[in-house]
Amino acid sequence: MKVKAFTDLVRMAVEEERSQPLLTWWLSFADHTRPQSEQFLGVILIDDCPGLVTARLRLSEAGVQSPGGEIRGIGFDPADGPPDQVAALARLPRLTLLSLADLQAAGMEVEHPVKVQVES
């Protein structure tokens, strides 16, 4: 894909996201080409974004390096959920690559990430 075409697609996606509510985004990174025990690369949290494309662009603007691999994200209200998980989430830094151990040390109830399923 040519750079201009890609830039135009990103611009359109950001424009579409502008009408969405501002949420905290949980961006999970994985690389299915690594051995199964090494596929999970980490999570980066970013606040006040209307969508995944905007969240990813803000990481770049903030100088946060992507660990590579594939990215999946989910937007959510950080005040929504069980009180212990809301408190654990509030303790986690933003714009920082967090390991499974980091998440668990903060009190997040997360299971070991499962193997990335790749469709052929």
Q: Quick count: other Cβ atoms within 10 Å of Cβ 43? A: 23
The model's pLDDT over 87-110, given as tens digits with 9 standing for 90+, comes to 999 999 999 999 999 999 999 987
The model's pLDDT over 6-38, given as tens digits with 9 standing for 90+, comes to 777 778 877 888 999 999 999 999 999 999 889
**Angle 23-102-104 from CA coordinates, rounded to 5°:** 90
**The model's pTM:** 0.83
* Dihedral sign (CA 48, 51, 57, 60): positive
Can you tell me the distance from the alpha carbon of 114 to that of 4, in angstroms, rounded to the nearest whole number? 36
Domain ranges of the chain: 3-105
Residue 36 amino acid letter: Q
